[in-house]
């Protein structure tokens, strides 16, 4: 079995903001607030928000940052508490997010051109099962998995959930079977260590 992380491994991991849906403040102010909240983060989504804002950021306006692995970030921007992240983080903050009317996600990523051929080659070489694990939303992840011909997909996972899923996959195989995990290492260090082979 070969298990893949999605973002940055099977996809480019270079995100682009494709839509902004402000309700109370203007679009530019919303982008600025999100970019400021993410101004100290090196996560690819944070970088995409900063690129979308495309103006210099005064980081002195930001304080009290807290990262929530696999969810997003909380920070004070101009003294106001800001949560920038996914639906799980919004629920943590007590916010009921409205569903986005755009298909997919407002921050999009593209499949690497060589991913499909790599999956096909693994299968032709005798790999019995190819699995994708991702923290991304199920609808977005399902499209990538279908495109690449993955045998199984597990989405909406935190780093600890990926470890549990690899443990479950390993437990379901014969003793002679081996499991390799392929990831980019940013959030995947625990699961890379847990696999028989970490790439």
- CA separation for the pair 166, 82 (Å, rounded): 34
Q: Taking a C-beta distance cutoff of 8 angstroms, is the pair 161, 142 a contact?
A: no
- Pick the closest to residue 4 from 105, 108, 124, 149 (CA basis): 149
152-169 core/surface letters (b: 16 or more CB in 10 A; e: else): ebbbebebeebbebbeeb
127-139 exposure pattern, b = at least 16 Cβ within 10 A, e = fewer: eebbbbbbbbeee
pLDDT in tens, 70-104: 789 999 999 999 999 988 899 999 998 887 766 55
Catalytic residues, by residue number, are: 5
pLDDT higher than threshold 90 for residue 4:
yes
Q: How far is CA 22 from CA 16, 25, 131, 133, 182, in A?
A: 17, 6, 36, 31, 37
Task: Report pTM.
Answer: 0.71
113-167 confidence digits (pLDDT tens):
999 999 999 999 999 999 999 988 888 899 999 999 999 999 988 888 999 999 9
The answer to whether the beta carbons of residues 49 and 38 sit under 8 Å apart is yes
For residue 21, pLDDT over 80 is answered with yes
Instruction: Name the DSSP letter for residue 35.
Output: H
With b for 16 or more beta-carbon neighbours within 10 A and e for fewer, the 38-68 pattern comes to: bbebebbbbbbbbebbeeeeeeeebeeeeeb
């Amino acid at each position: 079995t070969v298990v893949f992380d999605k973002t940055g491994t099977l996809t480019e991991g270079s995100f682009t903001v494709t839509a902004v849906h402000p309700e109370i403040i203007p679009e530019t102010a919303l982008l600025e607030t999100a970019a400021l909240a993410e101004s100290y983060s090196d996560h690819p989504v944070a970088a995409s928000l900063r690129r979308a804002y495309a103006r210099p950021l005064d980081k002195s306006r930001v304080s009290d940052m807290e990262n929530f692995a696999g969810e997003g970030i909380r920070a004070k921007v101009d003294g106001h508490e800001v949560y920038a992240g996914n639906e799980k983080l919004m629920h943590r903050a007590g916010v009921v997010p409205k569903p986005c009317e755009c298909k997919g996600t407002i921050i999009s990523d593209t499949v690497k051109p060589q991913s499909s051929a790599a999956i096909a080659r693994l299968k032709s070489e005798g790999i019995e099962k190819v699995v994708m694990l991702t923290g991304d939303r199920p609808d977005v992840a399902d499209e990538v998995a279908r495109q690449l011909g993955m045998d199984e997909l597990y989405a909406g996972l935190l780093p600890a959930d990926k470890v549990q899923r690899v443990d479950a996959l390993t437990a379901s195989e014969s003793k002679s079977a081996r499991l390799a995990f392929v990831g980019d290492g940013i959030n995947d260090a625990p699961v890379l260590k847990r696999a028989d082979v970490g790439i």
